Amino acid sequence: MKQTRIAVIGGGAIGRTHAVAIRDCPGTELAAIVDPFEAGAALAGELEALHLTELDALFDTRIDGAVIATPNALHVPQATMLIEAGIPVLVEKPLGENAAACRALVSLSEHTGVPGLVGHHRRHNPIIRAAKCAIEDGRFGALVSGTISATLHKADSYFDVAWRREKGSGGPVLINLIHEIDLVRHLFGEIGEVFAMASNDRRGFEVEDTAVILLRLSGGGMVTVALTDAGVGPWCWDTTAGENLARFPAMPAVSHMFAGTRAGMSLPDLSFWTHDGPADWTVPQVNRPLEIVPMDSYVKQIRHFAAVIAGEERPRITLADGAANIAVIEAIRTSVAQRRPVAPDLTGQDAERQTMVE
């Protein structure tokens, strides 16, 4: 069987995760690691892959696709170079630093016919797929309210990398909240309005370390998000879902709670609460957890990328989805600055979800 050769641009922590997933995914081969630093060279050596220091050198190598796992500011420029060269891309989240640049990348992909995906890997996780199924088949009902906690205390050394402290590329709103925005849009549809407050009191950087965000869904329902990279607590997807145990622990807590008109659901434990009788707060509820078969979401994501490269599937998380997520982030930033509700500007964006049957 012909192997799909995929290169990884960026040899940091998330680049390693993608490179290992390529190695572990049947039918794919790690073609190269592109990174100018020693960490990239060490990763290439460990995984017995070609090491390149410049992106241009990749064009002299036979590859079928590339994963971009570099600092946020490089995502759009590098994706542009690769798409112009006819190479399909999987771009780590966030797709870019601003919606305008992301929209330009969407247009380039549409014009050239070269596909692009965004690395919101949670959509490939069986936990999220089970939750989505419960919503789509009507068991959950319509969203009424939701509460999301993203409490992820980051060590001081994390911020030794300058861009993580700088406006435009750093801060938990762009780096971490982007996952929650994509998840809410995936499960419940478009976000029509946001209201947010943020603070940098704990770390004192240019960027925020704490934020509280209210999301009003276009189709009805509201979700609140409490976000911090300076507070201690287990209530975060990364530290409870167990999907990347090489980097994060899996603690027995929940990070997401959603109330529907027919059921209540929490993640990642997939508790699914319904009344044992009439739907009344005085009547006991029964938890019948949703069932899944555990799978590696990063390997699933690479398998899907290979299928897109082969023309067998359409992108599940499109570049347009990535651009829409950034538009919501920009609305949140505007809301923080102007202290008012803001409607995301989704003008000219087709963020249709395109889920393929496997």
Percent of the chain with pLDDT over 90: 91
Confidence of residue 357 (pLDDT cuts 50, 70, 90): very low
pLDDT digits (tens, 9 = 90+) for 214-271: 999 999 999 999 999 999 999 999 999 999 898 899 999 999 999 999 999 999 999 9
Confidence of residue 358 (pLDDT cuts 50, 70, 90): very low
Which CATH number belongs to the domain containing residue 58 in this structure?
Answer: 3.40.50.720
Does residue 190 contact residue 328 with C-beta atoms inside 8 Å?
no
Q: Examine the domain organization and report whether 117 and 216 are in the same domain.
A: no
In a domain, 261, yes or no: yes
Give residue 81's domain range: 4-121+298-313
Q: Examine the domain organization and report whether 138 and 250 are in the same domain.
A: yes
Q: Examine the domain organization and report whether 191 and 61 are in the same domain.
A: no
Q: Examine the domain organization and report whether 128 and 110 are in the same domain.
A: no
In a domain, 272, yes or no: yes
Q: Examine the domain organization and report whether 170 and 283 are in the same domain.
A: yes
What pLDDT was estimated at residue 348?
Answer: 60
Q: Examine the domain organization and report whether 83 and 132 are in the same domain.
A: no
What pLDDT was estimated at residue 138?
Answer: 98
Residues in the chain: 358
In a domain, 205, yes or no: yes
Q: Examine the domain organization and report whether 254 and 269 are in the same domain.
A: yes
Least confident segment among 1-10, 26-35, 140-149, 252-261: 1-10
Which CATH number belongs to the domain containing residue 286 in this structure?
Answer: 3.30.360.10
CA distance 199 to 31: 43
pLDDT digits (tens, 9 = 90+) for 80-95: 999 999 999 999 999 9
Q: Are strands 116-118 and 222-228 parallel, antiparallel or unpaired?
A: unpaired
Output the six-digit token pair for 253: 């807590």
What pLDDT was estimated at residue 113?
Answer: 97
pLDDT digits (tens, 9 = 90+) for 177-189: 999 999 999 999 9
* All residues at 6 or more sequence positions from 60 whose CB lies less than 8 Å from its CB, including other chains: none
* The total number of structural domains that make up the chain: 2
Angle at which helix 297-309 crosses helix 13-24, to 10 degrees, equals: 70
Q: Examine the domain organization and report whether 128 and 155 are in the same domain.
A: yes
246 alpha carbon, distance to own chain's centre: 18
In a domain, 344, yes or no: no
In a domain, 246, yes or no: yes
Confidence of residue 1 (pLDDT cuts 50, 70, 90): low
What pLDDT was estimated at residue 349?
Answer: 55
Q: What is the DSSP secondary structure assignment for residue 289, as one 8-state letter? A: P
> Where are the extended beta strands (E) located within 130-169?
143-151
Among residues 152, 129, 155, 179, the alpha carbon closest in space to that of 236 is found at: 152
pLDDT digits (tens, 9 = 90+) for 98-154: 999 999 999 999 999 999 999 999 999 999 999 999 999 999 999 999 999 999 999
Q: Examine the domain organization and report whether 117 and 146 are in the same domain.
A: no
Q: Examine the domain organization and report whether 172 and 95 are in the same domain.
A: no
- pLDDT above 90: residue 55: yes
Confidence of residue 352 (pLDDT cuts 50, 70, 90): very low
